[in-house]
């Protein structure tokens, strides 16, 4: 095992050790590492929880086609070992020198010309988000541009010049010096990742392990059954950055490529537990539209580039955005240990508030989503104070199998209505065999009102949650029966 990490930064391979003299812990965030350097203080801490985007950087890695893939991330949520084998790009890396003259990157030049900066605090993060857009899209739509910038807050306002700069700089087939030097960067990254030697860092009271194969990950899980498992760390990192918790034992699965995939088979879609949510969203666009829709409003692009479907399932949060939908899809969770592989229905997998059916030596490895037949419709909904970058107040996912206007079966799954994502069993029972009509749904809403006893908290009163749950069911009816909307058999 190795106890150092290596990554490409400032055009060379950097190595960080975690000896007592280094000053770095395995859970030192990438943001704090950069802020410790004299020449890379462009990143700012605005929130330390992935909400503001002031700390946005870009990570590049070699994809399955042997090319560099660029992703924007919130550096406040990234632990240092997570960037092993990747290229780190900050705002200071964008400009370059030619004959002693500093040449701005096209993104910087265009943002300046569009007057897209005011006080400047958020500007480095904005620049990096547009840089990520620049490297991934040519002539992007307005929706794509807004999505790329959703995770960047500008407290001075002035979003319109920023959006205009992004639109102009990404129009056409512009190149930059990163394109020119990609072959050399790929060579350096391949040099680092050619070794699949597990990283094991021990410092003070902390143990951090990062395997690169599934068998090694399962072995480490068996040996360290109380370890906190992370992949994107978008949830766990907050325990340190906001609650100041010392994370004593971490098993980092972000380097296990065997967990990162999306596959379509004859009867199901298979999604690896380590697949980033943005890649899941893109896979789902034409295959699982309800999943695509809910992921559109899941955090920001920076968050979705790190967060994983397995992580969202494993958190077992009562307001986890994907969980009611996975219940509606009747998804199965594949879990593995060194000695066993088993499948658990999503409803059986979540056993209580942030509790699951995982054994101490098991890891989530895959989510299996059965394909729908032509008589079945699924829709998903999220209600929150803000459209983007907000946690659900109430979420819902509805599944309806119907023939000749009669309900054959249904799934009415809700988040935010109980200590776990939960189905409205009595309402489902009432709907069975009934005509799918407004009269039926209005009668069902009366039953639904009595099914749950939601709490009142900072997000909403219990009465509001109850009203919303009923209205979402009515919305589902209208969207599946009104002229111009999805029609049912």
Contact 485, 479 (CB under 8 A): yes
- Each residue of 242-273: pLDDT tens digit? 999 999 999 999 999 999 999 999 999 999 99
Q: What is the CA radius of gyration of the chain?
A: 24
Query: Among all chains, which residue has been given the structure tokens 């090694």?
Result: 216
Looking at the fold, whether 357 and 276 belong to one and the same domain comes out as yes
Looking at the fold, whether 45 and 127 belong to one and the same domain comes out as no
Please give the structure tokens belonging to residue 118.
């005011």
Looking at the fold, whether 87 and 191 belong to one and the same domain comes out as yes
Would 294 be classed as within a structural domain? yes
Q: Which residues, other chains included, contact 367 with Cβ-Cβ below 8 Å and sequence gap of 6+?
A: 270, 271, 273, 309, 310, 313, 326, 331, 332, 333, 334
Looking at the fold, whether 198 and 238 belong to one and the same domain comes out as yes
Residue 488 has pLDDT above 70, yes or no: no
pLDDT recorded at residue 212: 97
Distances 74 to 255, 298, 302 between C-alpha atoms, Å: 18, 15, 6
Q: How confident is the model at residue 24 (pLDDT cuts 50, 70, 90)?
A: very high
Would 80 be classed as within a structural domain? yes
Interatomic CA distance for residues 229 and 239, integer angstroms: 13
What are φ and ψ of residue 210, in 5° steps? -135, 100
Would 12 be classed as within a structural domain? yes
Would 416 be classed as within a structural domain? yes
Q: Reading across the β-sheet that carries 262-264, which strands appear in turn?
A: 262-264, 268-272, 363-370, 332-336, 341-345
Looking at the fold, whether 205 and 89 belong to one and the same domain comes out as yes
For 154-158, 203-207, 230-234, 334-338, which range has the lowest pLDDT when averaged over its residues? 154-158
Looking at the fold, whether 80 and 198 belong to one and the same domain comes out as yes
Domain boundary among the residues 175, 191, 219 is at 175
Q: Would you give the DSSP letter of residue 2?
A: B
pLDDT recorded at residue 21: 77
Is residue 135 classed exposed, middle or buried when 0-12, 13-18 and 19+ CB atoms within 10 A define those classes?
A: buried
Looking at the fold, whether 306 and 384 belong to one and the same domain comes out as no
pLDDT recorded at residue 38: 93
pLDDT recorded at residue 485: 45
* Total domains present in the chain: 4
Interatomic CA distance for residues 289 and 278, integer angstroms: 14
Average pLDDT estimate for 180-192: 96
Domain boundary among the residues 225, 252, 279 is at 252
Residue 20 has pLDDT above 90, yes or no: no
Please, what is the average pLDDT of the chain? 95
Domain boundary among the residues 252, 278, 312 is at 252
- Each residue of 94-140: pLDDT tens digit? 999 888 899 999 999 999 999 999 999 999 999 999 999 999 999 99
Contact 272, 259 (CB under 8 A): yes
Q: Would you give the DSSP letter of residue 314?
A: H
pLDDT recorded at residue 482: 57
């Amino acid at each position: 095992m190795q106890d150092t990490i290596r990554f490409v930064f400032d055009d060379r391979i950097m190595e960080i050790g975690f000896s007592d003299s280094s000053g770095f812990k395995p859970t030192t965030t990438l943001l704090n590492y950069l802020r410790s350097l004299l020449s890379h203080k462009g990143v700012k801490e605005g929130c330390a929880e992935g909400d503001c985007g002031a700390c946005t950087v870009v990570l590049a890695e070699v994809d399955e086609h042997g090319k560099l893939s660029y992703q924007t991330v919130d550096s406040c949520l990234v632990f240092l070992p997570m960037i092993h084998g990747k290229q780190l790009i900050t705002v200071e890396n964008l400009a370059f020198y030619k004959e002693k003259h500093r040449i701005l990157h096209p993104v910087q030049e265009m943002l300046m010309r569009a007057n897209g900066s005011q006080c400047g605090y958020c500007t480095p993060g904005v620049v990096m988000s547009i840089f990520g857009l620049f490297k991934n899209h040519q002539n992007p739509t307005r929706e794509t541009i807004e999505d790329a910038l959703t995770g960047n807050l500008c407290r001075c306002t002035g979003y319109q010049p920023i959006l205009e700069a992004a639109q102009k700089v990404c129009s056409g087939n512009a190149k930059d010096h990163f394109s020119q030097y990609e072959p050399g960067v790929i060579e350096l990254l391949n040099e680092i990742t050619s070794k699949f030697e597990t990283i094991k860092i021990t410092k003070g009271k902390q143990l951090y392990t990062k395997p690169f194969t599934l068998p090694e990950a399962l072995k480490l899980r068996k040996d360290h059954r109380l370890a906190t498992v992370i992949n994107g760390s978008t949830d766990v990192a907050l325990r340190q950055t906001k609650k100041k918790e010392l994370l004593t034992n971490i098993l980092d699965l972000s380097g296990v490529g065997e967990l990162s995939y999306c596959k379509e088979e004859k009867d199901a879609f298979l999604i690896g537990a380590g697949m980033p949510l943005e890649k899941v969203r893109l896979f789902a666009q034409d295959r699982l539209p309800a999943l695509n829709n809910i992921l559109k409003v899941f955090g920001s692009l920076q968050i979705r580039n790190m967060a994983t479907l397995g992580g969202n399932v494993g958190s077992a949060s009562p307001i986890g955005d994907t969980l009611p939908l996975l219940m509606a899809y009747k998804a199965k969770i594949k879990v593995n240990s060194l000695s066993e592989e088993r499948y658990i229905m999503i409803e059986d997998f979540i056993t209580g508030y942030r509790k699951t059916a995982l054994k101490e030596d098991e890891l989530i490895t895959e989510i299996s989503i059965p394909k729908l037949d032509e008589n079945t419709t699924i829709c998903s909904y999220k209600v929150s104070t803000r459209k983007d970058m907000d946690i659900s107040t109430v979420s819902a996912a509805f599944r309806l199998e119907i023939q000749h206007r009669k309900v054959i079966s249904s799934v009415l799954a809700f988040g935010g209505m109980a200590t776990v994502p939960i189905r409205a069993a009595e309402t489902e029972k009432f709907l069975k065999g009934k005509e799918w009509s407004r009269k039926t749904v209005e009668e069902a809403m009366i039953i639904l009102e009595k099914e749950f006893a939601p709490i009142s908290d900072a997000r909403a009163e219990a009465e509001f949650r109850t009203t919303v749950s009923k209205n979402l069911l009515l919305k589902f009816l209208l969207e599946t029966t009104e002229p111009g909307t999805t029609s049912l058999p």
